[in-house]
A and B are shown apart, each in its own frame.
Chain A
């Protein structure tokens, strides 16, 4: 069974631009969560999507948004990029909503903002 896939793997943007990241969950998994990982703050929860609806949200500004499609694939968008948005963005999937103790991570998208 294929794991969680994320595209692109690497991305370089400049301040003020926007970016869209994509995540395909494990087949059969219906929940997708997004995380930001930085050396200083570690892994921080952004949001969770289940059945095309955002079910849970972390403490990030509204510039960070996402959506989920009917096939459970998810996208995350960051608008008006700031230097501090440089990070590894990870998505994780699980069978159902809220199964954070049974989630599987993708390899991440490394975003660099110049």
Chain B
């Protein structure tokens, strides 16, 4: 079992929809939770990170962590065709420990 599990999709939604992307993790030591966006033939781009539980909002993006259920979510409001990409969740315990990535969910926003 991977330490970070993520449904690879693909996920297709109409433009303007609210998108929910999710991951689960198994390592209780994880404290930092990241979301990356990766366009085709590009490197991952850090969208945001959250420390411990709670929500974090940045524009149309909201990251949510529930440590009790070991569940990580990314919500995208008013989705745009430019949001079409692969979204990777990742987690790290900090303290110089390496980061573990989910497999990535491919999202397509249909105009």
A61 smallest CB distance to B (angstroms): 17
A98 near B94: Cβ-Cβ < 8 Å: yes
Docked CA distance A51–B42 (Å) = 27
B107 vs chain A, min Cβ distance (A)? 16
Q: Which of B64-111 contact A (CB under 8 A)?
A: 88, 90, 92, 94-104
Q: Mark A43-54, 1 if CB is under 8 A from B, else 0.
A: 111001000000
Q: Mark A78-112, 1 if CB is under 8 A from B, else 0.
A: 00000000000010100001101111111110000
**Nearest CB of chain A from residue B29's CB, rounded to whole Å:** 13
User: Size band of the A side of the interface?
Assistant: 20 to 34
Asked, given contacts A100-B92, A101-B49, A102-B49, whether A43 binds B98 with beta carbons under 8 Å apart, the answer is no
With an 8 A cutoff between CB atoms, is A15 at the interface? no
- The total number of A-B Cβ pairs within 8 Å is 60
Cα separation A98 to B31 with both chains bound (whole Å): 13
Q: Which of A48, A56, A103 neighbours the largest number of chain B CB atoms within 10 Å of its CB? A: A103
User: Is there a chain B Cβ closer than 8 Å to A4's Cβ?
Assistant: yes
CA A108 to CA B49, docked complex, whole Å:
22
CB of B43 closer than 8 Å to a CB of A: yes
Q: Residues of A contacting B44 with CB < 8 Å?
A: 43, 90, 105
Interface size for B (C-beta < 8 A) is: 25
Task: Write the nearest CB–CB distance from B6 to chain A, whole angstroms.
Answer: 8
User: Which of chain B's residues have a CB closer than 8 A to the CB of A55?
Assistant: 96
Q: Are B102's CB and A108's CB within 8 A?
A: no
Please measure, in the bound complex, the distance between the C-alpha atom of A3 and the C-alpha atom of B36, giving whole angstroms.
16
A42-B102, A42-B104 as given contacts; A98 in contact with B96, CB under 8 Å: yes
Given A43-B88, A100-B92; A105-B43 close (CB under 8 Å): yes
Contacts A100-B32, A101-B32 given: A106-B43 contact, CB under 8 Å? yes
Chain A nearest Cβ from B44, distance in angstroms: 5
Point out the residues of chain B lying under 8 angstroms from A8, CB to CB. none
Specify which chain A residues have a CB less than 8 angstroms from the CB of B90 in the assembled complex. Answer: 43, 100
List the interface of chain A (C-beta within 8 A of B).
4, 41-45, 48, 55-56, 58, 90, 92, 97-98, 100-108
